[in-house]
Copies of this chain bind each other. A is one copy, B any other.
């Protein structure tokens, strides 16, 4: 018997991540896009008129005639994916949650709120338990706000999770080389990155250093105890369209050989894999042995952009082990992350 699909509304539908949501949800077995909203001048127009489609391939025909609505309830849908800009996200998302919509947000606004789950399904799906706390605290009825981390943090936390579980992590030093699409469109001016690197991404280092601790933290009663890990992040923007890269060093609390580290990463499977969620990659982490991998152009699309590729696992002279990680920043790092969260919520019965 075919279950009815969830009807989905997308906030920020004309932006870079909004377009990625639409692309990833085309032919999704559990969701169909029925509402599109944006905060800009596109309101009232059909999506095909309102949006300059900037992904390779055509705009899915199923959304072309949907009229772009203002980002406020009611919207003709069962749940909301939000990729609104940080400044307006909080008020809008709370408004939808109050109106009874589950909101899966890629925005940074509420991520660090004590009662908001910040989840990567493979890493900390048990944090969804905060939803009850949240509903009580905020007087939400059926609504909820569930967030996924910042694009760089997701990649990092996915690579750290199996290591933290097995060896305990004491300190992490991460240096990112981030893609242009992470800044949206128009985003980074071309003169800033042609023959150049920007050593600065606003608030990114702070996000990585704090969000990681929440994701790797433990649920204690009805709140998250932040992980006790020393964090250091330096972030750079490079002239790459898609695919964030991170050079990572890790210090463990227990001894870990290179072989054990490699094995812990490569063998890792988690609940989304066991439950075979539609967007879950077979392997959350793909370990490559070539000396010059991962590379953004070659590895960003592995497992349809949902796997993190790790390479260059080596002993480190200051911390214990170092490696290079890479993932697709608008798929696993944004739209795909929120969709996988939604699939996990369904599987765990939160969207019944």
Interface residues of A (CB under 8 A from B): 16, 52, 54-57, 171-173, 175, 177, 180-181, 185-200, 209, 230-232, 234, 236, 238-241, 245, 247, 249, 251, 290-302, 311-312, 316-319, 322, 324
Question: A245 contacts which chain B residues (CB < 8 A)?
Answer: 197, 199, 236
Question: Do A172 and B240 have beta carbons less than 8 Å apart?
Answer: no
Question: A293 contacts which chain B residues (CB < 8 A)?
Answer: 199
Select one of B199, B230, B238, B291 contacting A294, CB under 8 A.
Answer: B199
Q: How many copies does the complex hold?
A: 4
Question: A191 contacts which chain B residues (CB < 8 A)?
Answer: 16, 54, 180-181, 185-188, 241
Question: A292 contacts which chain B residues (CB < 8 A)?
Answer: 198-200
Select one of B172, B193, B198, B298 contacting A54, CB under 8 A.
Answer: B298
Nearest chain B CB to A101's CB is how many angstroms away? 31
Select one of B188, B196, B199, B251 contacting A324, CB under 8 A.
Answer: B199
Nearest B residue to A196, CB-CB: B297
Nearest B residue to A52, CB-CB: B290
Nearest chain B CB to A133's CB is how many angstroms away? 29
Question: A189 contacts which chain B residues (CB < 8 A)?
Answer: 185-190
Question: A239 contacts which chain B residues (CB < 8 A)?
Answer: 190, 194-195, 238-239
Known contacts A188-B189, A191-B181, A249-B173, A295 near B232 by CB under 8 Å: no
Nearest chain B CB to A179's CB is how many angstroms away? 9
Question: A230 contacts which chain B residues (CB < 8 A)?
Answer: 317-318
Nearest chain B CB to A203's CB is how many angstroms away? 11
22 contacts between A and B (CB under 8 A): A54-B191, A56-B297, A175-B234, A177-B236, A186-B191, A187-B189, A188-B191, A190-B192, A191-B241, A194-B195, A194-B240, A194-B241, A195-B240, A196-B296, A197-B295, A198-B295, A199-B245, A199-B312, A200-B292, A232-B318, A234-B247, A251-B318
Question: Do A175 and B175 have beta carbons less than 8 Å apart?
Answer: yes
Nearest B residue to A242, CB-CB: B195
Select one of B234, B249, B296, B322 contacting A197, CB under 8 A.
Answer: B296
Nearest B residue to A231, CB-CB: B317
Question: A302 contacts which chain B residues (CB < 8 A)?
Answer: 57
A307 to B260, CA, bound (A): 44
A232 to B172, CA, bound (A): 13
Question: Do A249 and B236 have beta carbons less than 8 Å apart?
Answer: no
Question: Do A296 and B247 have beta carbons less than 8 Å apart?
Answer: no
A175 to B236, CA, bound (A): 11
Nearest chain B CB to A170's CB is how many angstroms away? 9
Question: Do A196 and B295 have beta carbons less than 8 Å apart?
Answer: yes
18 A-B pairs besides A193-B194, A239-B239 with CB distance below 8 A are A56-B297, A57-B302, A186-B189, A187-B191, A190-B239, A191-B241, A194-B240, A196-B295, A196-B298, A198-B292, A199-B247, A199-B292, A199-B312, A231-B318, A232-B249, A234-B247, A236-B247, A238-B238
Question: A57 contacts which chain B residues (CB < 8 A)?
Answer: 301-302
A253 to B312, CA, bound (A): 30
A54 to B151, CA, bound (A): 26
Question: A199 contacts which chain B residues (CB < 8 A)?
Answer: 245, 247, 292-295, 311-312, 324
